[in-house]
Amino acid sequence: MLLVSQIREDFQRCLKGLEKRNFPNAETTLNKVLDLDRARKDTQTQRDKIQAESNSLSRQIGGLMKEGKREEANAIKEKTSEIKGQIKDLEEDYNQIEISLRELLYTIPNIPHSSVKAGKSAEDNEIILEKGGKPVLGASKLPHWELIKKYDIIDFDLGAKITGAGFPVYKGKGARLQRALINFFLDEALAEGYMEVQPPILVNEDSGYGTGQLPDKEGQMYHANEDNLYLIPTAEVPITNLYRDMILSEEDFPIKNVGYTPCFRREAGSWGAHVRGLNRLHQFDKVEIVQITHPDRSYEVLEDMSSYVQGILEKLELPYRVLRLCGGDTGFTSALTYDMEVYSAAQERWLEVSSVSNFETYQANRLKLRFRGEDKKSQLAHSLNGSALALPRIVASILENNQTEDGIKMPKVLIPYLGFDIIN
C-alpha cells in the first residue's frame, strides 16, 4: 500500500497518478488519508503529554509517602487513576484511527510509473514491439477446442463431471505436454539464476493482504471458510510472502525465486467465444518468477524479466507482442506492467500469456519487507513478479499454430522433454 509520507510529501504526483487510473474521488480520498494521519499524530501527542504528567505524579507519590504526607499522596493517586483512564481512552482512539487509516489505504491502488499513459481499458494499451511472423493456416484450420477433441488430449466434459466448468482433465499427450512445458520453464529459470521453491497453494489472510490480493474486491479468490484460507490465484502470493516481516541486507540482492503451482481463479464475469476452451479456466498451471531487489535497480530488473520471458516465447517459436499497460488496465498493486501476448492463428487474435510487473514499495510496505544498506538504515525493498509462463494459452497457441494435415508438430525445444515430436 502507499506510504502516508509518500502522499504527504508528493501529493500532486499521487493525485495525478490516481487520475491516470481513473480512480474515483482521488483528491477527497487522499485528503482523508492526511486528515486521519493528523488525527493520529494529535492523539499520540496528547497521550504522550498525559503519560508524561502521569509519570511525574507517580514519582511524587513515593517522595510524599516517605515524608509521611499520606493524604497528599492518596490525592495524587486518585488523580493518576483518572489520568490512566484518559490514557486508555486515547489509546483506544489511536488504535481506531490506525485501523481506519489502514483500511482506507487498502482501497488505494499503486501510483503508476511516469511512463504509464492514461487510459480506460485494454484498448488504450501501448504496443511496444511485435516479433515473429503470424502463421498462415488453410481453410481447414481448427481452434484448439476442436483440436483437443480430435486428438483426445484434453477433456472438459470429464472435468465438469468431477468438479465443474473450467476444470479440464489433461490426458495422454496433453498431460505430457503440460509436464514438458512446466519442466522447460523451470529449467530455463534455473539457468537464469533463479532458485526454485515449491510453496503451499493455500495461504492465510496475512499473505493475501501482504501482496494485495486482499481485500478481494472482485471476488476472484476461492475461500476455504472453515479454516479461513485462500487458494492461490498465482504463485506470486506465497513466494513473495516468504520475505514478509524480514529485514534483509543489501548484499542479499538480487533475490530471484521461481516456482510452479496450480492456480485458482473464480473469474467472475461474462463467458463467450473469446473465453472458450483454454482461454479462461478456474484452475490452471503456471510457473512464476519473483525478484526482490534494491529500489535503484528495480526498473532495470523489470526490463531484464521482460526480455527473459520474450526469450522463452522465441524458443517456443511463437509470434508475440509486448504491451505496456495504460493506467486504467494496470493491476491494482503494480506501478508498471508489461503484458506479453502470443498470436493464436486459428482464433486470429492475440492471447495474453504473461504479465511482468514492478510493484515498487507497494507490496513491501504491506509485507514490512525492508533491507539495510551501507548506512545501516532500513528502507523498503522493491518487489517484482512475472508469469514465465502461464500454460493454458501457451498450449492453445502451440496446438493451433502448429497444426498440419498429419497432426500437431511440437516446438523443437520441447521434444527432449516430450519424447515425441507430433500429436496425431
Neighbouring residues of 291: CB distance < 8 A, sequence distance ≥ 6: 254, 255, 256, 257, 301, 305, 383, 384, 385
Q: Is residue 74 part of a domain?
A: yes
| Domain-terminating residue out of 106, 133, 154 | 106
pTM confidence score: 0.92
Q: Is residue 114 part of a domain?
A: no
Q: How many residues does the chain have?
A: 424
Rounded CA-CA distance 306/310 in Å is 6
Neighbouring residues of 68: CB distance < 8 A, sequence distance ≥ 6: none
The confidence score (pLDDT) of residue 274 equals 62
Q: Is residue 215 part of a domain?
A: yes
190 and 289 housed in the same domain: yes
Q: Is residue 111 part of a domain?
A: no
CATH number, position 222:
3.30.930.10
157 and 71 housed in the same domain: no
Q: Is residue 247 part of a domain?
A: yes
Rounded CA-CA distance 56/212 in Å is 45
102 and 126 housed in the same domain: no
Cell 493464436 maps to which residue?
A: 344
The confidence score (pLDDT) of residue 390 equals 96
238 and 343 housed in the same domain: yes
387 and 342 housed in the same domain: yes
By the 8 A CB rule, do 366 and 210 touch?
yes
Q: Is residue 115 part of a domain?
A: no
278 and 413 housed in the same domain: yes
160 and 89 housed in the same domain: no
324 and 186 housed in the same domain: yes
95 and 225 housed in the same domain: no
Work out whether the CA dihedral 399, 404, 405, 410 comes out positive or negative.
negative
| Domain-terminating residue out of 57, 78, 106 | 106
| Domain-terminating residue out of 75, 106, 137 | 106
By the 8 A CB rule, do 243 and 256 touch?
no
Q: Is residue 364 part of a domain?
A: yes
Which residues constitute the domain of residue 18?
4-106
129 and 99 housed in the same domain: no
The confidence score (pLDDT) of residue 270 equals 46
Query: What does the H/E/C string look like for the chain?
Result: CCCHHHHHHCHHHHHHHHHHCCCCCHHHHHHHHHHHHHHHHHHHHHHHHHHHHHHHHHHHHHHHHHCCCHHHHHHHHHHHHHHHHHHHHHHHHHHHHHHHHHHHHHCCCCCCCCCCCCCCCHHHCEEEEEECCCCCCCCCCCCHHHHHHHCCCEEHHHHHHHCCCCCCEECHHHHHHHHHHHHHHHHHHHHCCCEECCCCCEECHHHHHHHCCCCCCCCCCCEECCCCEEECCCCHHHHHHHHCCCEEEHHHCCEEEEEEEEEECCCCCCCCHHHCHHHCCCEEEEEEEEEEECHHHHHHHHHHHHHHHHHHHHHCCCCEEEEECCCCCCCCCCCEEEEEEEEECCCCEEEEEEEEEECCCHHHHHHCCEEECCCCCEEECEEEEEEEEEHHHHHHHHHHHCECCCCEECCHHHHHHHCCCEEC
Rounded CA-CA distance 2/366 in Å is 9
The confidence score (pLDDT) of residue 272 equals 52
Half-sphere exposure of 353 (CA within 13 A, CB side): 31
13 and 87 housed in the same domain: yes
Q: Is residue 117 part of a domain?
A: no
The confidence score (pLDDT) of residue 80 equals 82
34 and 144 housed in the same domain: no
The confidence score (pLDDT) of residue 246 equals 97
Number of domains, the chain: 2
The ranges of the chain with pLDDT < 70 are 62, 268-274
Neighbouring residues of 77: CB distance < 8 A, sequence distance ≥ 6: 61
CATH number, position 33:
1.10.287.40
